[in-house]
Chains A and B, each alone.
Chain A
Amino acid sequence: NAGVTQTPKFQVLKTGQSMTLQCAQDMNHEYMSWYRQDPGMGLRLIHYSVGAGITDQGEVPNGYNVSRSTTEDFPLRLLSAAPSQTSVYFCASSYSMVAGATDTQYFGPGTRLTVL
């Protein structure tokens, strides 16, 4: 049981380049999410999904796209990278996404992205 895996671990991009951050979980979790973590800002939610085919925006969605074609995978796409997207990106999953309740989220190890 690998939990939540993320690839790559590190990435350097030039402004304007695009890339996809991969996230996969093997716990059969319905809920998956992407956060970015910046110094002095805490974790901020980018996008989330409550199941295959269902996604929604979080607090800071601009410049990012997501899709969820399977329960296991939830890739995050940067369409045209900007220096402001330099950050550490975490994917997380949880068993359920019950309205009115929180559920334990399991985080991946993160992807450290630098945009020059």
Chain B
Amino acid sequence: QKEVEQDPGPLSVPEGAIVSLNCTYSNSAFQYFMWYRQYSRKGPELLMYTYSSGNKEDGRFTAQVDKSSKYISLFIRDSQPSDSATYLCAMSQPGSGNEKLTFGTGTRLTIIP
């Protein structure tokens, strides 16, 4: 079993819809949670970064962490065609840095105009 599981999709939703992207994990030591966005044929770029549990909001994006369920989510409100990309979750535990990041496999999202 992988430490981080992510539904690969693809996920297609109409423009303006609310999108929910999710990852589950098995390592209860994970405390740092990230979402990266990767456009086709580009490198990933950091979208959201949260520590431990709770919500974090940035414009149309909300990252949610539920450590009791070992489940993290990224919500996109008022989705736009420019949000079409692959979304990767990543996580790490205290005492480790970027060299111990564990990535999900990514969910491909398409927003239909």
Q: Which residues of A contact B (CB under 8 A)?
A: 4, 31, 33, 40-45, 48, 56, 58, 90, 92, 94, 97-110
A-B contacts counted at CB < 8 A amount to 70
Most buried by A among B34, B44, B95: B44
Known: A42-B103, A45-B101. A99 touches B42 (CB 8 A): no
Q: Cβ of A102 and Cβ of B32 under 8 Å apart? A: yes
Which B23-44 residues have C-beta < 8 A from chain A? 32, 34, 41-44
CB pair A102 B104 closer than 8 Å: no
Give A106 to B95 CA distance when docked, in angstroms: 21
A-B contact list, 18 entries, CB within 8 Å:
A31-B97, A40-B8, A41-B105, A42-B6, A42-B105, A45-B99, A45-B101, A48-B99, A56-B99, A92-B98, A97-B99, A99-B97, A101-B32, A102-B92, A103-B98, A105-B98, A109-B41, A109-B43
B88 nearest CB across to chain A (Å): 7
Would A102 and B101 count as touching, CB distance under 8 A?
Answer: yes
B4 adjacent to chain A (CB < 8 Å): yes
Within 8 Å CB of B49, what residues of A? 102, 104
Q: How far is the CB of A26 from chain B (nearest CB, A)?
A: 16
Chain B residues near A94: list those with CB within 8 A.
Answer: 98
Which one of A56, A58, A104, A107 contacts B43 once the chains associate, using CB atoms below 8 Å? A107
Q: Is B45's CB within 8 Å of the partner chain A? A: yes
Does A90 contact B43, Cβ atoms closer than 8 Å?
yes
Chain B's interface size range is 20 to 34
Which residue of the partner chain, among B8, B46, B94, contacts A100 with CB atoms under 8 Å? B94
Q: Which residues of A contact B104 (CB under 8 A)?
A: 42
Given contacts A90-B43, A107-B44, contact A102 B97 (CB under 8 A): yes
Residues on the A chain within 8 Å of B92, using CB: 102
A100-B96, A102-B32, A108-B43 are contacts. A42–B101 as well, Cβ < 8 Å? no
* Bound CA–CA A90/B8 (angstroms): 20
> In the assembly, what is the distance between CA of A56 and CA of B100, in Å?
12
Residue with the highest number of chain B CB atoms closer than 10 Å, among A48, A102, A108: A102
Q: Considering the complex, which residues of chain B in the window 61-113 have a beta carbon less than 8 Å from any beta carbon of chain A?
A: 88, 90, 92, 94-99, 101-106
